[in-house]
């Protein structure tokens, strides 16, 4: 449809022209020119009027004027009315859009509050919330509640270490280190491939000053991937310069390690960071010596204990050579003893076994008269004695 005022196309269903704003008229407006033209045509046919009489008449001119006025007047008025209606429609649309936005905001707000309430309810029973509650209860020395919270957290996720650390702390606060340790050892047994649990146990040992248990914990782990992840906690063992075994002379043994320090003992006790710190070779005297040593790294974590046993047995000279041999001799015959280097000879003439408290041999001895049982022994500078040599002399 075209606008009867401006000629613009009007979409179907529209009541106003989109260009001039004039109202669409379904019934055409009355046009006085049409009456004049109709009379002109009839007059021409029946001969009552000339073709141009009506055009010159006053009625025709008035009809033209009225028609032009009606065409101009509605356009302006309709345009204003259309503009007013457009403003009203825009205002209505804005009001409707505002209501929709408000309604949407209310819905979103309610939805947000609902989600928040639901989220808060879910969080209150989450792993993190239970750990936080357990920590708070522990700080308040409410051990029963703390134990409950940490156990509930552990049941939600058995692989995480925080819950077990919390349970161990509950026992530590009550001076029960054995139960605290068992928390970790039990869960490690059930999850041998969980490196985080091993790390948590190691931290427990460090915090409770039980670092000597760390190398054994790692040594008992048969999971290579776990051991690789615990590399920073592994300390190399010290090396010994002397193989353990038996020796026939005094020895010394040196210790070495790439770690920060070495500590050792020689009395059979296990070494710690409080034992003798290695600084020079260890002298091995005659007898049996058990050397135990550890290395300690920069994090104060010790290595496994290394034990070496040494036995030093110094050779002993044969029984002393005493001259003359047993038998009958002339009175005054000299008795001599062969004394090796580093030995002293001792003797008796009354048949008793000689000791370091007996007569020291300093030179030839005149054989006594009568029947004499002569005994001699050699004792070295270390106090080690040889076997006793016995001679029986008879003189006249």
Written as one string, the DSSP assignment of 178-204 is HHHHHHHHHHHHH-TT-HHHHHHHHHH
Q: What is the mean pLDDT of residues 307-332?
A: 92
- Is the pLDDT assigned to residue 79 strictly greater than 80? no
* 396 pLDDT tier (thresholds 50, 70, 90): confident
- d(CA 153, CA 171) in angstroms, rounded, equals 17
- d(CA 375, CA 358) in angstroms, rounded, equals 10
- d(CA 66, CA 60) in angstroms, rounded, equals 10
Shortest CA distance to 136 belongs to which of 158, 169, 159? 169
Q: How far is CA 161 from CA 233, 266, 391, in A?
A: 18, 40, 82
Report field, pTM of the whole predicted structure over 0.75: no
Q: How many CB atoms lie within 10 A of CB 257?
A: 20
* 9 pLDDT tier (thresholds 50, 70, 90): confident
The string of pLDDT tens digits covering residues 141-195 is 999 999 999 999 999 999 999 999 999 999 999 999 999 999 999 999 999 999 9
- pLDDT score recorded for residue 73: 46
Q: Is 389 within 8 Å of 377 (Cβ atoms)? A: yes
* 96 pLDDT tier (thresholds 50, 70, 90): confident
Q: Partners of 394 in the beta sheet?
A: 328, 371
Which are the contacts of 81, defined by CB distance < 8 A and separation ≥ 6?
21, 23
The count of residues in the chain is: 396
Q: Is 237 within 8 Å of 221 (Cβ atoms)? A: no
Q: What is the mean pLDDT of residues 368-381?
A: 93
- pLDDT score recorded for residue 332: 85
Which two tokens mark 96?
């409707």
Strand residues in 250-286 grouped as ranges (E): 251-253, 255-256, 261-265, 276-277, 282-284
- Is the pLDDT assigned to residue 46 strictly greater than 60? yes
Question: Crossing angle of helices 162-173/177-190, nearest 10°?
Answer: 160
- Is the pLDDT assigned to residue 52 strictly greater than 60? no
- pLDDT score recorded for residue 3: 76
Of the ranges 89-98, 111-120, 124-133, 222-231, which one carries the lowest mean pLDDT score? 111-120
Which two tokens mark 293?
């040593």
CA angle 23/28/32 to nearest 5° reads: 120
Of the ranges 301-305, 307-311, 315-319, 375-379, which one carries the lowest mean pLDDT score? 315-319
- d(CA 321, CA 374) in angstroms, rounded, equals 12
Q: Rounded mean pLDDT of the chain? A: 86
- pLDDT score recorded for residue 30: 52
Which two tokens mark 256?
């070495």
- d(CA 337, CA 332) in angstroms, rounded, equals 16
More confident position, 75 or 338 = 338
Phi then psi for 158, rounded to 5 degrees? -75, -10
- pLDDT score recorded for residue 50: 56
Residue with tokens 């353990």: 244
* 120 pLDDT tier (thresholds 50, 70, 90): low
Share of residues in the chain with pLDDT > 70 (%): 82
Could you tell me the end-to-end alpha-carbon distance of the chain, in angstroms, rounded to an integer? 176
CA angle 149/154/156 to nearest 5° reads: 100
- pLDDT score recorded for residue 41: 60
Q: For 5-18, give one letter per residue: b (16+ CB within 10 A) or e.
A: beeeebeeeeebbe
The string of pLDDT tens digits covering residues 200-257 is 999 999 999 999 999 999 999 999 999 999 988 999 999 999 999 999 888 999 999 9
Q: How far is CA 163 from CA 133, 139, 141, 195, 291, in A?
A: 11, 15, 17, 15, 42
Q: What is the mean pLDDT of residues 277-299?
A: 94
Shortest CA distance to 172 belongs to which of 198, 204, 197? 204
Decide: helix, strand or coil at residue 282: strand
- d(CA 360, CA 316) in angstroms, rounded, equals 19
Strands 306-312 and 245-247: parallel
Decide: helix, strand or coil at residue 297: coil
Q: How far is CA 266 from CA 244, 272, 276, 303, 332, in A?
A: 14, 13, 10, 18, 55
Residue with tokens 């936080």: 132
């Amino acid at each position: 449809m075209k606008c009867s005022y401006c000629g613009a196309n009007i979409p179907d269903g529209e009541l106003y022209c989109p260009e001039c704003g004039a109202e669409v008229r379904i019934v055409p407006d009355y046009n006085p020119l049409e009456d004049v033209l109709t009379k002109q045509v009839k007059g021409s046919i029946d001969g009552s009027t000339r073709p141009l009489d009506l055009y010159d008449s006053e009625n025709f001119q008035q009809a033209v004027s009225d028609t032009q006025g009606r065409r101009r007047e509605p356009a302006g008025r309709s345009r204003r009315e259309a503009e007013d209606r457009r403003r009203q429609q825009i205002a209505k649309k804005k009001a409707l859009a505002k209501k929709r936005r408000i309604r949407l905001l209310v819905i979103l707000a309610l939805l947000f509050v609902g989600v928040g309430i639901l989220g808060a309810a879910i969080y209150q029973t989450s792993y993190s919330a239970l750990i936080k509650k357990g920590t708070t209860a522990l700080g308040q020395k409410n051990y029963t509640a703390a134990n409950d919270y940490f156990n509930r957290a552990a049941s939600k996720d058995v692989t995480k270490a925080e819950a077990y650390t919390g349970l161990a702390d509950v026992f530590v606060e009550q001076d029960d280190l054995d139960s605290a340790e068992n928390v970790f050892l039990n869960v490690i047994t059930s999850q041998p491939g969980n490196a985080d649990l091993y790390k948590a146990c190691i931290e427990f040992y460090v915090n409770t000053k039980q670092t000597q248990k760390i190398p054994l914990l790692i040594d008992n782990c048969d999971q290579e991937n776990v051991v690789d992840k615990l590399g920073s906690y592994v300390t190399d063992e010290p090396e010994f310069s002397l193989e353990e075994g038996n020796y026939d002379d005094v020895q010394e043994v040196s210790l070495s390690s790439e770690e920060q320090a070495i500590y050792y003992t020689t009395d059979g006790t296990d070494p710690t960071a409080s034992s003798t710190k290695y600084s020079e070779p260890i002298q091995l005297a005659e007898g049996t010596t058990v050397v135990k040593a550890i290395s300690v790294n920069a994090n104060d974590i010790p290595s496994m204990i290394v034990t070496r046993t040494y036995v030093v047995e110094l050779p002993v000279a044969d029984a002393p050579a005493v001259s003359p041999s047993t038998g009958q001799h002339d009175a005054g015959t000299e008795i001599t003893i062969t004394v090796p280097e580093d030995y002293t000879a001792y003797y008796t003439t009354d048949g008793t076994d000689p000791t370091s408290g007996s007569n020291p041999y300093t030179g030839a001895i005149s054989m006594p008269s009568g029947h004499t049982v002569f005994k001699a022994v050699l004792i070295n500078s270390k106090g080690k004695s040889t076997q006793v040599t016995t001679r029986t002399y008879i003189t006249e």
